[in-house]
A and B are shown apart, each in its own frame.
Chain A
């Protein structure tokens, strides 16, 4: 079958979802009102609350939520065949993520731009908020560890990506310096900076760099993990304007460019899907499709992280309440398209079924290398690029996403540690230095503690990361349902997805716990138990909050 069908049906489903379902939800459930004065206007302060053009806001929202995760998830999940991943990405984007992201945005806009954590406290209760904080901390911890391992893997598998991936730091710092210290207008630095980035890929292609296979008793991937965390620690201490801001910006630009050229390549020379529709001969270690599919693909189908972005920063900048639909739903659709691109690359980028099976020999063995290799082939066939260059391009794209997330993730974790230092009166932890070391130390412990001492087996954490992410999404959907119920509006459109996600996460956690225990991975088993307890707690909290809201409604 031609991959063009996947692309057309997938993008068609997203369009239909946006035009029909999101319209229904916006008009009949959220009842978006252009007369409503949004927090951006009521509380305008030029700092957080700033009315923003909806296209710009969509750009921010989309580039904040899209990262390496919507690529990694589908790239692993196609091991069950292309159909399950494809269905979950398309249906999940329309019926789960769309309403989740836009709903969090809307609820926050209707509550003075409060974050979903603060909303939980006012809608459900104090305990639920604490649960939220635990889940967020674990999520950050896992995201940093997993992404470091992913980048290290890509550096080892595709040494041509090393030069461009580090060169981008110089480009970013130059742009930041020119803009803030020299007052140069943005347009030319952007064009030159992005051109230089792509030129550096050509250089990297000719000069691949690798670390020695073993140094200080560590293998190459483990060394990269240590180097990456050293970088992330330093980067998180630099001023935002110098590195993080221009880096985020370049990333945003290359996300649009990357997605554009990928779909163009599929359109110009549609590849054949070689992976089976449903894989009947999965490798032995692959867990059951249900429930693991729904936690393996979190970002790209439904992800709790988006609610944090929606309610954290985006909601404070919504100019008109009607923009909630445009920004929230279309941000999700953007992310869904990235996941769709990943599915196509990992199922149609191989010449034969045998080649594909060579990659998918075990669970989590395909992943990003399959995406880079398959996608590189598709770019080569569609646009006439050399295969190696196409691979470098996609490897760098994935690395930049993951690395920027690490920059932000380590910074956020440092804030949490500093806050803990203030709360528990530990002055040493309130400074930048030690708190960064503690934050990075936790991530390194997870990266090395999970599966294998070499810092390489960490992809085992992936489904656990997905589970935590989905748990967060479930919690957000619950808050939304209670909020809707309190307003006497139908809550089934958020409650059914909530029930589904909660069931799948608890089920998946159970299966994973057993796996970790059997394999003697007690560190991960402990982490699993913490998340499981949180999940059950969430279920109980939700039951009580719901009952209260119901009683309130019937007595009202």
Chain B
């Protein structure tokens, strides 16, 4: 390992030292915001009026990946939506 690599490695460790201690708290906060966003996107299907549903519809395929984890986290064992099967 030459000195350049060493400095890069030290920088990485420093970065890790900075982020690590609050990683969990920040990730949880972010997840809460994401969960709210998920609710907005799916709101129309649950009977909550959503004026922007025309736009959020486009996002469905993108959010589908995290859908399973989301409904489990929200305390629902299966997909709450009739037309939107999950597990």
Contacts and interface: CB of A to CB of B under 8 A. Distances in A.
Given A52-B16, A185-B11, A47 B27 contact: yes
A210 interface: no
B18 A249 contact: yes
Nearest to B16: A56
B13 A55 contact: yes
A317 B14 CA distance: 16
Contacts of A245: 18, 21-22, 26
Contact of A317 (B17, B20, B29, B31): B20
Nearest to B25: A240
A367 to B, nearest CB: 28
Contacts of A241: 22, 26
A87 interface: no
A8 to B, nearest CB: 30
B28 interface: yes
A439 B10 CA distance: 40
B83 interface: no
A249 B15 CA distance: 10
Nearest to A176: B18
Contacts of A48: 23-24
Interface in A40-60: 46-48, 50, 52-53, 55-57, 59-60
Contact of A50 (B17, B20, B22): B20
Given A186-B11, A187-B11, A47 B16 contact: no
Contacts of A26: none
Taking each of B14, B27, B28, which has the highest tally of chain A beta carbons within 10 Å of its own beta carbon?
A: B14
B31 to A, nearest CB: 8
Contact of B14 (A46, A186, A239, A240): A186
Contact of A240 (B11, B16, B26): B26
Interface in B3-61: 11, 13-18, 20-29, 31
B18 A240 contact: no
A404 to B, nearest CB: 11
Interface size class of A (residues with CB under 8 A): 20 to 34
A179 B19 CA distance: 10
Contacts of B31: 47
A338 B69 CA distance: 45
Nearest to B24: A48
B21 A64 contact: yes
Given A47-B28, A185-B11, A239-B29, A252 B17 contact: yes
B15 to A, nearest CB: 5
Interface in A185-232: 185-187, 190
Contacts of A144: none
B18 to A, nearest CB: 5
A185 B11 CA distance: 9
Contacts of B16: 52-53, 56
Nearest to A252: B17
Contacts, number: 59
A187 B31 CA distance: 28
Nearest to A187: B11
Nearest to B10: A187
Contacts of A240: 22, 25-26, 29
A56 B28 contact: no
Interface in A239-262: 239-241, 244-246, 248-249, 252
A445 to B, nearest CB: 28
A190 B21 contact: no
Contacts of B23: 47-48, 50
Interface string A437-466: 000000000000000000000000000000
A60 B24 CA distance: 13
A481 interface: no
A320 interface: no
B13 A53 contact: yes
Interface string A57-72: 1011001100000000
A252 B31 CA distance: 27
A59 B15 CA distance: 12
Contact of A56 (B11, B13, B27): B13
Contacts of B25: 240
B87 to A, nearest CB: 19
A430 interface: no
A190 B14 contact: yes
Nearest to A249: B18
Contacts of B17: 56, 59-60, 249, 252
Nearest to A246: B18
A316 B58 CA distance: 38
Nearest to B11: A187
Nearest to B31: A47
A313 interface: yes
A316 B23 CA distance: 12
A332 B75 CA distance: 41
A57 B19 CA distance: 11
Nearest to A244: B22
Contact of B21 (A60, A185, A187): A60
A245 B22 CA distance: 7
B15 A60 contact: no
Contacts of A52: 16, 20
B24 A313 contact: yes
17 contacts: A46-B27, A47-B23, A50-B23, A52-B20, A53-B13, A56-B16, A60-B17, A60-B20, A60-B21, A185-B11, A185-B15, A186-B18, A187-B14, A244-B22, A245-B26, A248-B22, A316-B24
Across the A-B interface, give the 6 residue pairs with the lowest CB-CB distance, nearest first: A47-B27, A48-B24, A245-B22, A56-B16, A60-B21, A240-B25
Given A50-B23, A53-B13, A241-B26, 10 more contacts: A47-B24, A47-B31, A52-B16, A60-B17, A186-B14, A245-B22, A248-B22, A313-B24, A316-B24, A317-B20
